[in-house]
Amino acid sequence: MTDLGRYLSKIRNKRHLSLRDLAKQSEIYDVPISHSTLWAIEKGKNSRGNVPHPSPNQLKTISNVYHVNYEKLMELAGYAPVPQNIRVHPTSDGASITADVGWKTSNKTLDVYGEITAGLPTFADEHIIGQTIIPDDLIDKYGRDNLFALQVDGDSMSKVIAPGFIAVFAKDCEVENGDICAVLVDGENATLKRFKETSRAVILEPESFNPIYKPLIFSKSIDQDFRILGKYVFATSLLQ
């Protein structure tokens, strides 16, 4: 039995409802669900012995007939909340952020670092502050071992990524003009900047509502004291 199945079975038994009762109630919704489908979801396997994967629309109906939280069901079913249409608004003390919530299938977690120090660089266990859930399509595209996550500390990129958000990066990924990247500068901890390159220089640009941040310019005529760690590919506010 899956976590979702155990949760739904507990709710249903507590309310003394049958699967047929709930299936009948679901008929008033856009996506009705048969009692056999509910049985498979609760048991964690269908008639072929496979684990069922209910769709978001099915889970919406289930949340209505079981009278439970839709977002909780989505997470139990292996979906990760993904911020969409992110809107960052300047405030007197920095910025606030609003976003719509989308969902993507996810079955893997990724360690989140509070900081990444200079050196190899060092992805040290003592800097891990938690984990975040990442969508399956990111893993398929980049490979789980090629991804790392960093909690944003500071507001130098507040127009794009709010402080406190989790930014996910791909390590072995070519960084092109205009990409956001995690970069070590002058031997300090990792920071986020937008990468720009001309024939004469590399420019690491902030995008902040705070005017104190200025571009970092590295002339190609001298040694460049920075190291790109990865390309920014995803952001989330989910920290476990």
Among residues 26, 106, 158, 193, the one annotated as catalytic is: 193
Over the Cα atoms of the chain, what is R_g? 23
Q: How many whole angstroms separate alpha carbon 139 and alpha carbon 145?
A: 9
Tokens in use for 225? 């004291």
55 tagged catalytic: no
The residues pairing with 216 across neighbouring beta strands, listed in sequence order, are 204
Q: Of the candidates 188, 189, 176, 180, which has an alpha carbon nearest to the alpha carbon of residue 235?
A: 180
Q: How many whole angstroms separate alpha carbon 119 and alpha carbon 113?
A: 16
Q: How many whole angstroms separate alpha carbon 112 and alpha carbon 149?
A: 5
34 tagged catalytic: no
Among residues 156, 158, 208, 231, the one annotated as catalytic is: 156
Give the active site residues.
156, 193
